[in-house]
A and B are shown apart, each in its own frame.
Chain A
Amino acid sequence: MSKVLLVGTPNSGKTALFNRLTGLNHRVANYPGITVDLSIGQLAKLPDRELVDFPGTYSLRPISEEERIAVAHFADALGDPEVEHVLCVVDATRLEKSLFFCLQVVRECRRSGKRITVLANMGDILARHSLKVDAPGLAENIGAPVLVVSARTGMGLAEVLDQLASSTLDEMAVAADEEPMLLAQDDESADSALYEEAHRLAERFGAPADQLLLIQSRLDRFFLGSLSGGLAFSLIMLVLFQSIFTWSAPAMDAVERVVTGLGRWILPFLDQGILRDFTADAIFSGIGAFLVFVPQIFVLTFVIGLLEDSGYLARAALICHKPLRFFGLSGKSFIPMLSGVACAIPAIYAARSIESPRARFLTYLVIPLMPCSARLPVYTLLIAIFIPRETALGGLVGWQGLTLFCVYGLGMVCGLLVAGVVNRISTGEAQMPFMMELPAYRMPALVPIARKSLQRAKHFVTKAGLVILSVTIVVWVLGYFPNQGADLGASWLGTIGKWIEPVFQPLGLDWRYGVAIVSAFLAREVFVGTLGTIMGIEGAEDNILPLVEQIQASALPLGSGLALLVFFAIALQCVSTVAILAREANSWRLAGRMVVAYLCIAWLAAWATFQITAML
């Protein structure tokens, strides 16, 4: 199958174009050896071509790790005989910024004999403001066809497909007299000629975008101002956290009702015995307990997606730069940290865009302490058990929401403290200066974000679900045998549990919680499923009670509940995070040290919490 490469500068709308051109048909490939995710998809209208989406870079002369990897792949791909066409996306409203990269790409494509088409994206914005870029003029000067397109409206995409379908190579004949490829080398003199050229072309053929920038500047005055910006930031973060609870509550209730309803309906059809016990304890109590949280993951990803797409996240990063700098981090750490609120794994990938190795290392330390959504099931469960549903201040603050806010805060504060301390005591490379593009403000494109959030939720169900199902089955088998669930304490699970009980006893937790915590090392949310299964075995036969009520009935002390919350806020209990961290940071030692250190801190903090609560 022949391949088409899609390249472009960041924020030029490359991802949006990729989605447009491939429809839903794409997969994310992990290139062998190096961890960079390239999306690969079949072109919807030309099924015999594959479109390969490269990470955005400003230049073929990389300054960050992320760019280095992207550029190295691009160089490889240009040598691949299957690749015949390169699409280079530029932002038509900000030509100057993209043209330098574009010229570099044209030069490299010419050297390696690949066809290239330049796509001037965001054409709809130009049209809306009656602006124009001179595409034919530009095409003539750079020696490659230029098409004005819009990923939003689909404008011009038919011509792109025509270009791809036609296989005339004449306009891109290899220039024989050019010197060999110099990709990714410090080739300053050649580059400075390109800067001049890019500048000249943008001035001559680009659209004057004063009008667009005026709108952006007004919004920036508001969002970056000391008072208005601070207020907006707090408000947006508050809405983000509230939305996790309030917007997803109806969906969570619905899932819970469906799961329990389904269980009550199905169980009577099964004969008494192992199958029935397994279905009730492992499937409905175990898996059901975890499915309830899927809506929350969807909502969280969706809201972060909205913020990112609107252009606000870059402003938030800017506002946070100085405070984060105090802890050795950078404003660019903000986006990985916020993604970490959804999941540590994409957050670790997002940290690639931090050019400064020192800030990146410190960001790695913080990410696992960010309150990821896998902790959410555990938090929600514990909060529902111990914290009353009541509200205070006339319904303005709910105690449950406030508690969640505090546990979230705890993780973040710990993260900053760790970064700050490590930054002070470690020597090493100095920080790099901060430079960041501020993208335009845009209406977020709802459908692609919803689709992405759905994918994330699905991924969570399939990937985490598989782990949870296996753990649940193992836990159930260990807990059910050898005595058919008659006495959990005497089961194999009980024996193992009693063995590890001394570790958790100082926190006021019995062996059942110990087992649940240990199983949570596969993935935190497994805690809920394991506890559901254990309580399910213990509970009355067909009585699928919500887990909250079962634990409330077991009279777990408040101090132990709070200790659990604290423990989960700090401990690094996710094998996938550890693996990705080790790979990205290229150091198993770092990952191993983090696991041990965070576990010790978590246990000590949990113990202190239990002791303090007992004194009150």
Chain B
Amino acid sequence: MAASDVVFRVKRYRPESGGRPTFQEYTIPYRSDMVVLDGLNYIKDHIDPTLTFRWSCRMGICGSCGADVNGQPRLTCGTYVRDVHKGAVTVEPLSNFPILKDLVVDFDDFLRKLASVTPYIVRKDWGDLTKEYVQYPEDVEAYRQQSLCINCMLCYAACPVFGSSPEFVGPAASALALRYNRDTRDEGADARLARLNTRTGVWECTFVGECSVVCPKDVDPAAAIQTLKFLATMRHMRRLLMPGSSSR
């Protein structure tokens, strides 16, 4: 191995032949400005076209290139090899998800959870659709942080609660529920809180906080979940003490 080389240890899983995932090592040329995704693409283009991984935008927007890099969930397009390069760069599929092939995981379950919190504006009556639903800068600011989520699922890979209780709705779905609950145009808050105030909802969270540490967009899903616990409790108490009160 030349001094200007770097070793990539990549976890491989070949569904056609079954068996356990194994590591495969590739030695590739090192550049100080290369990101982990560049290394994977170099391997695919020049050494092993069978290596399978997801990516699209290469700029931290699409959320598809997540993998465990040296044991930590990261966007491979946003992780410089120089920052993680300690002898070798180990790339594994995101923890806590079933593996489809190599670095590609099955996230159907995540999409189901996301759908369960209606991550879009819900209205009882859309009324006059030619009319604007005016929002002031402070209205947008109320949900701006959670709206930055790119569904990369790094937070799920970092969450040991999701690892041991896969039915847990999880960090990103919760953060997005809060994003829409805080939107002045939305009327679906009550149903979302009812969904999250369940055994598989926000109460599963024991506040490890690692989801917020790994989140590449500073969404802070751990904070969102704690806020939702409070809002769900308030909703519960309101329904208990004032059964006829408004739902919001």
Q: Do A and B bind each other?
A: no
Q: Which residues of B contact A (CB under 8 A)?
A: none
Binding site for B on A (CB under 8 A): none
